[in-house]
Structure 1
Amino acid sequence: MTVARLACAGFVLMALGGCGGKDGSRSLRSVGEQAAAEPTTDTRDWRAVATVADRQRLREWRTAWVAALKKARAGGAGVKIEADPALYAYDAALTDPVPPAGDYRCRTVKLGAKAAGGLDYVAYPFFRCRVASDENGVSLIKLTGSQRISGTIYFSDTSRAVFLGTVALGDERSAMRYGRDATRDVAGWVERIGPQRWRLAQPYPAFESTMDVLELVPA
């Protein structure tokens, strides 16, 4: 099953209602759990899959991190950032970046507003994510929330993997095909930052932020 056929999954963009979905929502849970039962089978190299725009975003990951942290600190979040260097330091990646299959708690932190007047640091509560794998590939799916990503994790090197996917909004029942709409495409680096802790760092997301960070810990 390709990314385009995975059911709704994703994380929240603040301008469209934030993480407003209820964790116990029956409709979102049933859709997400159905998708999680059928992981992606796309095993192509990520460079052959990524759009030109996403390849550019992924190349500029360090620039995005530095700019995002500078804005967040200037906005008053310095204490929070310094209290959790594993999550926020751009050079915190460890070996074995792909999380094992299973259920996860996941939350999104948005760093560095794109526009004047926006919030430079927003940390949302934990929602539900799932990593599924078979002999053909690994998928990451966000099961709850008002925006839910679904996509594929591709091996890159010993310390980082690449996520390419799309985001479903609100009560949408299916996600767009990756590459069809740049505002729905999601691209980021998957890194292990602790014994049982991972993050998906998304440089220059389509809305609001300079960097979105999705934290994952086992449920």
Structure 2
Amino acid sequence: MLKSLQSSPRILSLILLAGCVAGAAIDAHADDSPPPTNWRVIATSADRERLRGWRTAWIKALDQVAAAGQSQQIAPLGALMQPDAAQPGATPPAGDYACRVFKLGSRRPAGPVVTTLPPFTCRVAQEGGILSLTKLEGGQKPVGLLFPQDGSRMIFLGTMMLGDERRALEYGRDPERDMIGAFERIGDQRWRLVLPYPRWESLLDVVELVPKARG
């Protein structure tokens, strides 16, 4: 992996990504240039296509929820479930966050259309001039980088860590693990990560992030 570092910004970013999870130092012979900040340079064509379809995924998911008579389950969540609720100031402060995942829609005819996963802790950290986002608990742990796009949106690129894995798989190596999403602020001290067409189960995953109280 290190041999191709200097010729591949994608590899560089994912070395940084793995380091933020495992605490591993980057090889001393690696290129010292800063990581790329243009997510389009790194994202696979498949992931760029998934992100372009974020609104379609959201509308399809909400239609399935409504058709199943379960809209009341997500109505109390307010802006979290509204596609156009993004506000200026997408960049979150570094720190630990209380997070929840809501899975909307189903890829299977008989699958659930609303699933709420148990809450967990996730962390935003500064990684060599760019922000990382990591899920700290559970058997499925997304880990990735947040790339600036505009004032109301950042782009998340990452991979899914499974089980007791200690390092993130290189982005682009396994399409089933690759992740892309839009990171937005939707209120005072409230953010969300929107993942269109995740590889498993749902049509749209929405992750709510609220800063944890420092005690």
TM-score (norm 1): 0.82
CA contact (8 A) 2:101 2:206 kept: yes
CA deviations 1:2-30 (Å, max 9, x no partner) are 43464599xxxxxxxxxxxxxxxxxxxxx
The equivalent residue for 1:99 is 92
Name the CA distance, whole Å, in 2 between partners of 1:4 and 1:135: 11
Q: Is 1:157 equivalent to 2:161 in the alignment?
A: no
CA-to-partner distance for each residue in 1:48-81, whole Å, 9 max, x for gaps?
A: 1110011001111111110011112222321122
Cα pair distance change 1:35/1:109, threshold 3 Å: farther
Residues 36 and 101 (structure 1 numbering): CA distance in 2 closer, same or farther, change over 3 Å?
farther
In the TM superposition, structure 1's runs of 4+ consecutive aligned residues that sit over 3 Å from their partners are 4-9, 34-38
- Give unpaired runs (5+ residues) of structure 2: 1-11, 27-33
Alignment of 1:141-180 (within 5 A): 141-180=134-173
How far, CA to CA, are the matches of 1:77 and 1:37 in structure 2?
47
Helix, strand or coil for the counterpart of 2:75?
helix
* 1:57 lines up with 2:67 in the alignment: no
Aligned amino acid, residue 151 of structure 2: T
Match of 1:198 in 2: 191
Cα root mean square deviation, aligned: 2.2
Partner of 1:25: none
Give ranges in structure 1 of 5+ residues lacking alignment: 10-31
Q: Which amino acid aligns with 2:115?
A: V
Q: Which deviates more from structure 2 when the two are superposed, residues 80-89 or residues 146-155?
A: 80-89
Q: 1:50 to 1:146 in 2, by over 3 A?
A: same
1:183 alignment counterpart? 176
Pair 1:35–1:97, CA change in 2 (3 A): farther
TM-aligned CA deviation for residue 171 of structure 1: 1.4
Please state whether the residue corresponding to 2:173 is helix, strand or coil. Answer: coil
Moved more, 54-63 or 74-83: 74-83
Output the CA distance in 2 between the equivalents of 1:48 and 1:2: 11
Task: Output aligned runs, 1:61-140, within 5 Å.
Answer: 61-134=54-127, 136-140=129-133
Displacement of 1:135: 5.3
Whether the 8 Å contact between 2:17 and 2:132 is mirrored in structure 1 is no
Any conservation in 2 of the 1:8–1:143 contact (CA below 8 Å)? Answer: no
Given the two structures, how large is their TM-score scaled by the length of structure 2? Answer: 0.83
Offset at 1:181?
0.8
Q: Which residue of 1 aligns with 2:14?
A: 3
Q: Greater relative contact order: 1 or 2 (C-alpha under 8 angstroms, separation 6 or more)? A: 1
Which position in structure 1 is the counterpart of 2:6? none
**Larger deviation: 104-113 or 73-82?**
73-82
Q: 1:80 to 1:37 in 2, by over 3 A?
A: farther
Matched residue SS, 1:191:
strand
- Larger gyration radius, structure 1 or structure 2: 2
Task: State percent identity of aligned pairs.
Answer: 48
Report the equivalent of 2:37: 44
